[in-house]
Structure 1
Amino acid sequence: MRLFSKFGVLVLALCLSLPALAMSLEEAKQQLDTAKQSGLVGETPTGYLAVVKADGNAREIVDAINEARRQEYSRIAAKHNIPVAEVEAVAGKKAVEKTPAGQFVRIGDKWVRK
């Protein structure tokens, strides 16, 4: 019986933590535009975001969005039987191209405001 109660506690803890993780990603998505417009976060040719200026919760936003991107790139790569690096490169090129004027993109080793 004791094993079942430990298992029940583990399941309950997992169930309570999953919505918190999902909420974290949703919050990050909502805050991403503001962070980009504020010059805290920028797009890179690697397909991932990076911190331009480490203020506020820029690192948490970048980490949450990049993890979601990693998962999506892996899914796309598996679906089309291509390397993940190829998906990342295409996504990075598109993200840099689509970045609006006034926001930062990484070109080589430098951050550039479009």
Structure 2
Amino acid sequence: MTTIDLFKNEKNFITIPAGEVIFQKGGIADRMYVVLEGEVEISIDGKLLDLTGAGGIVGEMALISASPRSATAIAKTECKLVPIDEKRFTFLVQQTPYFALSVMKIMVERIRKLDALVLGIE
């Protein structure tokens, strides 16, 4: 999984206990999260799609399409997450090409995993 290092010294984070739902499929999609510490499980209808650790992101589709959440994210372990709202996301995409490319790479990897899950291919 691609790692986003821009946030490794970020002080504005939230702590989510293990087992807590970060967001749920169908929910309001108004921010994404950068994982500073811990692991987040991303699932669709109970099927594990991805496990994201430090340097990864979850909820990125929320800031690209104005649609409800397409998956559920649960803290597998205690997590430190940096919430990124639409304004900050837009700024980062405009000012930091590496960030935009990292988000695109992560999305492509997840699409491939979803394809494998849905189509039963590897």
Given the two structures, how large is their TM-score scaled by the length of structure 1? 0.31
Look at both structures and tell me which one has the larger radius of gyration over its CA atoms. 1
Given the two structures, how large is their TM-score scaled by the length of structure 2? 0.30
Question: Would you tell me which structure has more helix in proportion to its own residues?
Answer: 1
Report 1 or 2 for greater relative contact order, CA contacts < 8 Å, sequence distance ≥ 6.
Answer: 2
